[in-house]
């Protein structure tokens, strides 16, 4: 008998074992990603029809999810796309096969389909039909059956079709895995999935969508694309501020940069050089195509700032691959590390720069949750959107980078801060900043609910204008200090219950107060007050000819009007603001409503709860104060360093004590390696010195700080005509600012936990010192 082992083998049978499909289900895709893969299939069908000039009218995708745990529970995705014939349907469900090139589509079927369906259940049925077909063609992938029969063959199925004009594809996933069925049955989980889909497909769920507009429904309810609540942009007035160094900067920056076409291998997902026609990886020209390359989209400024809700969305063919990415807010330094550049000026690291950048020609991870950072297209996009160097202009200049006119750089220069420095009239408009961020954030919920009054940014702009108007008139601001440090809370003398009928219209003028106009609520008493506030004159009839400084009245419509005379002497106190008056009235109204029904609720408890919710801007927060003090001293050191002439730098450095110089050298070496001599020679040693060193430097060299160099106050230009009088006047200026700097250093060097234990008066003094240091600061001296 011949030895068959000696015969050469002519081929291998590489057909995968039927177990491979269930194993794909072990790849960890989240539920929304599984649904997203199936929605992507539908979107690709619509895109394909558009490119073949047979666009689908009113494209729709219906997602049906189970709402309870049941044996017959299933997930269905149905679209009205062009549909598939049996041959295309057969290929579409093969593991690893894709019906589209990776260039122009999201990636129809292929591995994504197999992974998603296997992740959710063990039986998948797919039905598809084209316009004019007489039946639906279908197939089923039954993992249990495939394992038993040990092959991939499955029969062609058909079902009747009553209307030949119908077209589309339906995917039904049945025999859900127990953990998946349990997950979908949770209402909160379905709500999270809905929210994620509204974010991921936002670019296609709006009018004039990209690359098309679709209607996406989940359990019969249409999804609304979650759009960004930004200043300016489509549907809003242009919001442009002037920067002393970089000129006019718009809050909404558009991006639309075309790049030269480039050859690309669709099989290897690899870019080719201009002189290459054959892919060096697969050594073939068969899959080489010329790709159009364009980076487009926008960057903007959110109407509020938040610890989590900011960042840039990156989009491929209308589907958001990365949401709220912070990558472009970091700088890859020359030492192999990454430095966060935004947000760095807020003590709680809250940001508000957002954006949507479309990058259709860049590779993505197979799970579609990240762009490939190794793709050259990513690096090109980074240069277009944020430029080559650091966003911080001083660091960029020191590293030798030239001018940067990128949209992110410009936004960063104008809007990097969440608090104005100095706090003078116009500062809120120049930052597009609502002083009460909680109020701005609350209003945004009305924007997301598509309230037509809150879609434009007008309501936010009213609050900005009111705050600046209060600063212009020298007031603390009708809402409680315009964001200043004064805490309120004084109880009223004899508050008037909020149940009186509205007074007849008064002859004296009434001026709306946007910062006090809103809905207020108290969860303890379950009371709601829809309040419209007006500033009135002392002789307004509703105030009983000036006997009362304010009054809360209920209208016949069930709403409330709060009428207040802000010129009344009671508001001359640092501990009484119009907001305090209103919250006290609301607390009294709540107690009047209860009329002794609950003994566990007191006026004090209701007022405390209202202040906790609505008076956050008046809090003396040690964390915020510490961070603001450190930032103010750091900014002062950097700004003054720029005033030191190189020829004077060494002598001024030698004025420091030996211990101070040792600290400077150690800190410079830890940050900039062997650059100590250059940094000291440039006069930048104050940036690395202990905070108390700045106090001594200021006392010895006040001429570097005044006369418009950092503060507007006169020092060297101060001349009273008498040498001794002039010297005494200059000394008084130095003593005044030195005392303020001592308070700032005290705040910056103490731990917030320790500051929380000091007295209110001491914290208030520190907060006022920061305000006063900023009040005379020259515009444009922020470092």
Inter-residue contact 265 to 282 (CB < 8 Å): yes
- Least confident residue range of 316-320, 617-621, 659-663, 712-716: 617-621
Amino acid 143: pLDDT: 79
Q: Answer yes or no: is 482 within a domain.
A: no
Say how far apart CA 112 and CA 96 lie, in whole Å.
8
Inter-CA distances, 528 with 520, 524, 611, 619, Å: 6, 11, 15, 24
Inter-residue contact 166 to 2 (CB < 8 Å): no
Say how far apart CA 641 and CA 631 lie, in whole Å.
15
Asked whether residue 527 falls in the same domain as residue 540, the answer is yes
* Residue 716: Cβ-neighbour burial (10 angstroms; 0-12, 13-18, 19+): exposed
Mean pLDDT over 498-525 rounds to 74
Q: Residue 200: which of 298, 78, 45, 323 has the closest Cα?
A: 323
Q: Answer yes or no: is 3 within a domain.
A: no
Check residues 538 and 165 and name the one with the higher pLDDT. 165
Asked whether residue 521 falls in the same domain as residue 606, the answer is yes
Inter-CA distances, 603 with 587, 594, 744, Å: 6, 11, 37
Mean pLDDT over 659-678 rounds to 80
Mean pLDDT over 202-220 rounds to 94
Instruction: Report the phi/psi class of residue 648: left, alpha or beta, with left for phi > 0 and alpha for psi in -120 to 50.
Output: alpha
Q: How many CA atoms lie within 13 A of 32 on its CB side?
A: 17
- Least confident residue range of 179-188, 419-428, 586-595, 653-662: 419-428
Amino acid 106: pLDDT: 54
Say how far apart CA 396 and CA 401 lie, in whole Å.
5
Positive or negative torsion for Cα 616, 617, 618, 619 = positive
Check residues 25 and 430 and name the one with the higher pLDDT. 430
Q: Answer yes or no: is 411 within a domain.
A: no
Asked whether residue 539 falls in the same domain as residue 669, the answer is no
Contacts of residue 317, defined as CB under 8 A and 6 or more positions apart, other chains included, come to 43, 47, 104, 105, 106, 211, 360
Mean pLDDT over 147-159 rounds to 78
Q: Answer yes or no: is 417 within a domain.
A: no
- Least confident residue range of 21-35, 99-113, 366-380, 463-477: 99-113
Confidence of residue 498 (pLDDT cuts 50, 70, 90): very low
- Tokens in use for 449? 């609910």
pLDDT exceeds 80 at position 6: no
Check residues 111 and 443 and name the one with the higher pLDDT. 443
Confidence of residue 573 (pLDDT cuts 50, 70, 90): confident
| Residue entry with tokens 């960057």 | 299
Domain total of the chain: 5
Check residues 473 and 197 and name the one with the higher pLDDT. 197
Confidence of residue 70 (pLDDT cuts 50, 70, 90): very high
pLDDT exceeds 80 at position 396: yes
Cα angle: 688, vertex 692, 696; to 5 degrees: 100
pLDDT exceeds 60 at position 492: no
Asked whether residue 131 falls in the same domain as residue 194, the answer is yes
Number of CB atoms found within 10 A of residue 778's CB: 16
Q: Answer yes or no: is 495 within a domain.
A: no
Confidence of residue 133 (pLDDT cuts 50, 70, 90): very high
Confidence of residue 120 (pLDDT cuts 50, 70, 90): very high
Amino acid 493: pLDDT: 36
Amino acid 552: pLDDT: 93
Amino acid 1: pLDDT: 52
On average, the pLDDT of the chain sits at 85
Q: How much of the chain, in percent, has pLDDT values that exceed 70? A: 88
pLDDT exceeds 70 at position 721: yes
Confidence of residue 108 (pLDDT cuts 50, 70, 90): very low
Number of CB atoms found within 10 A of residue 714's CB: 14
Amino acid 2: pLDDT: 54
What's CA 273's distance to the chain center, in Å?
38
Asked whether residue 263 falls in the same domain as residue 199, the answer is no
Say how far apart CA 378 and CA 637 lie, in whole Å.
37
Asked whether residue 673 falls in the same domain as residue 730, the answer is yes
| Residue entry with tokens 């591995």 | 111
Check residues 480 and 341 and name the one with the higher pLDDT. 341
Inter-residue contact 141 to 44 (CB < 8 Å): no
User: What's the pLDDT tens digit per position in 350-377?
Assistant: 999 999 999 998 888 878 889 999 888 9
Q: Which of 472, 498, 530 is the last residue of a domain?
A: 472
Confidence of residue 475 (pLDDT cuts 50, 70, 90): low
Asked whether residue 192 falls in the same domain as residue 213, the answer is yes
Amino acid 345: pLDDT: 84
The DSSP annotation for 292-330 comes to: EEEEEEEEEEEEEEESSS-EEEEEETTEEEEEEE-GGGE
Mean pLDDT over 555-582 rounds to 88
Q: How much of the chain, in percent, has pLDDT values that exceed 90? A: 44
Inter-residue contact 202 to 178 (CB < 8 Å): no
Say how far apart CA 224 and CA 200 lie, in whole Å.
11
- Partner residues linked to 620 by β-bridges: none
Q: Answer yes or no: is 378 within a domain.
A: yes
pLDDT exceeds 80 at position 519: yes
Check residues 647 and 605 and name the one with the higher pLDDT. 605
Amino acid 583: pLDDT: 94
Amino acid 779: pLDDT: 65
Mean pLDDT over 674-688 rounds to 82
- Least confident residue range of 40-49, 266-275, 624-633, 705-714: 266-275
Asked whether residue 128 falls in the same domain as residue 265, the answer is no
Specify the DSSP element, H or E, that contains 742: helix 723-749
Asked whether residue 288 falls in the same domain as residue 356, the answer is yes
Going by the DSSP 8-state scheme, the letter that residue 366 receives in this structure is: T
The DSSP annotation for 599-663 comes to: TT--HHHHHHHHHHHH-GGG---HHHHHHHHHHHHHHHHHHHHHHS-HHHHHHHHHTS-HHHHHH
Asked whether residue 276 falls in the same domain as residue 193, the answer is no
Strands 518-522 and 247-250, sheet pairing: unpaired
- Partner residues linked to 553 by β-bridges: 561
Number of CB atoms found within 10 A of residue 752's CB: 15
Check residues 60 and 678 and name the one with the higher pLDDT. 60
Q: Answer yes or no: is 47 within a domain.
A: yes
Asked whether residue 244 falls in the same domain as residue 202, the answer is no
Amino acid 503: pLDDT: 52
Question: Residue 466 sits in which domain range?
Answer: 427-472
Amino acid 488: pLDDT: 35
Asked whether residue 331 falls in the same domain as residue 210, the answer is no
Mean pLDDT over 198-219 rounds to 94
Say how far apart CA 714 and CA 704 lie, in whole Å.
11
Amino acid 497: pLDDT: 43
Amino acid 221: pLDDT: 95
CATH number, domain with residue 154: 3.30.565.10
Q: Answer yes or no: is 158 within a domain.
A: yes
């Amino acid at each position: 008998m011949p030895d068959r082992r000696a015969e050469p083998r002519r081929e291998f049978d590489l057909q995968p074992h039927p177990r491979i499909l269930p194993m794909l289900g072990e790849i960890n895709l989240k539920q929304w990603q599984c649904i997203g893969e199936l929605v992507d299939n539908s979107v690709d069908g619509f895109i394909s029809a558009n490119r073949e000039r047979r666009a689908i009218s009113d494209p729709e995708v219906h997602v049906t999810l189970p709402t309870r745990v049941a044996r017959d529970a299933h997930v269905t995705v149905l679209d009205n796309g062009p549909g598939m014939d049996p041959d295309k349907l057969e290929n579409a469900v093969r593991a690893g096969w894709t019906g589209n090139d990776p260039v122009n589509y999201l990636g129809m079927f292929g591995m994504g389909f197999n992974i998603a369906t296997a992740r959710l259940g063990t039986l998948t049925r797919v039905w598809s039909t084209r316009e004019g077909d007489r039946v639906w063609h279908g197939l089923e992938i039954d993992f249990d059956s495939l394992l038993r029969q040990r092959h991939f063959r499955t029969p062609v199925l058909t079902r009747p079709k009553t209307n030949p004009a119908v077209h589309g594809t339906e995917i039904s996933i049945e025999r859900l895995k127990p953990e998946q069925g349990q997950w979908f049955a949770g209402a909160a989980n379905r709500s999270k999935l809905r929210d994620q889909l509204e974010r991921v497909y936002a670019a296609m769920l709006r009018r004039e969508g990209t690359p098309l507009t679709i209607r996406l429904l989940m359990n019969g309810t249409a999804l609304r694309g979650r759009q960004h609540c930004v200043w300016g942009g489509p549907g809003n007035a242009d919001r442009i501020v002037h920067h002393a160094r970089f000129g006019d900067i718009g809050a909404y920056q558009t991006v639309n940069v075309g790049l030269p076409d480039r050859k690309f291998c669709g099989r290897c997902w690899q870019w080719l050089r201009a002189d290459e026609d054959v892919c060096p990886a697969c050594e073939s020209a068969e899959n080489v195509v010329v790709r159009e390359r364009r980076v487009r989209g926008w960057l903007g400024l959110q109407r509020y700032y938040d610890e989590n809700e900011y960042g840039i969305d990156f989009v491929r063919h209308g589907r958001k691959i990365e949401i709220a990415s912070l990558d472009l807010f970091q700088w890859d330094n020359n030492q192999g590390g990454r430095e966060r550049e935004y947000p760095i000026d807020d003590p709680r690291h809250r940001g508000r720069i957002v954006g949507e950048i479309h990058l259709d020609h860049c590779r993505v991870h197979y799970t579609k949750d990240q762009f490939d950072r190794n793709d050259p297209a990513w690096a090109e996009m980074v240069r277009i959107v944020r430029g080559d160097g650091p966003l911080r202009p001083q660091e960029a200049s020191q590293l030798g980078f030239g001018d940067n006119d990128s949209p992110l750089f410009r936004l960063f220069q104008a809007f990097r801060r969440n608090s104005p420095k100095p706090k003078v009239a116009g500062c809120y408009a120049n930052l597009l900043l609502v002083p009460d961020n909680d109020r701005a954030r609350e209003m945004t919920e009305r924007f997301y609910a598509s309230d037509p009054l809150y879609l434009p940014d007008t309501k936010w702009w009213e609050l900005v204008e009111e705050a600046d108007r209060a600063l212009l008139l020298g007031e603390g601001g009708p809402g409680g200090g315009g964001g200043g440090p004064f805490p309120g809370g004084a109880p009223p003398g004899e508050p008037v219950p909020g149940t009186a009928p509205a007074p007849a219209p008064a002859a004296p003028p009434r001026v709306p107060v946007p910062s006090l106009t809103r809905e207020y609520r108290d969860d303890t008493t379950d009371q709601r007050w829809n309040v419209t506030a007006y500033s009135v004159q002392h002789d307004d009839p509703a105030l009983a000819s000036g006997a009362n400084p304010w009054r809360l009245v209920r209208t016949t419509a069930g709403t409330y009007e709060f009428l207040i005379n802000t010129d009344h002497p009671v508001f001359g106190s640092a501990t009484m603001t119009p907001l305090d008056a209103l919250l006290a009235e609301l607390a009294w109204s709540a107690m009047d409503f209860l009329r002794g029904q609950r003994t566990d609720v007191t006026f004090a408890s209701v007022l405390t709860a209202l202040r906790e919710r609505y008076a956050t801007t008046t809090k003396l927060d040690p964390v915020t104060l510490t961070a603001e003090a450190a930032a103010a001293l750091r900014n002062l050191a950097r700004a003054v360093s720029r005033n030191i002439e190189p020829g004077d730098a060494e002598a001024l450095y030698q004025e420091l004590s030996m211990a101070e110089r040792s600290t400077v050298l150690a800190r410079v070496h830890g940050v900039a390696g062997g650059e100590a001599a250059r940094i000291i020679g440039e006069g930048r040693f104050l940036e690395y010195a202990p905070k108390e060193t700045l106090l001594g430097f200021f006392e010895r060299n006040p001429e570097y700080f005044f006369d418009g160099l950092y503060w507007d106050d006169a020092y060297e230009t101060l001349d009273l005509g008498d040498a001794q009088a002039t010297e005494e006047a200059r000394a008084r200026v130095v003593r005044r600012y030195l005392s303020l700097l001592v308070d700032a250093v005290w705040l910056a060097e103490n731990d917030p936990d320790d500051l929380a234990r000091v007295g209110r008066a001491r914290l208030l003094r520190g907060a006022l010192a920061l305000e006063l240091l900023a009040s005379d600061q020259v515009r444009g001296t922020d470092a």
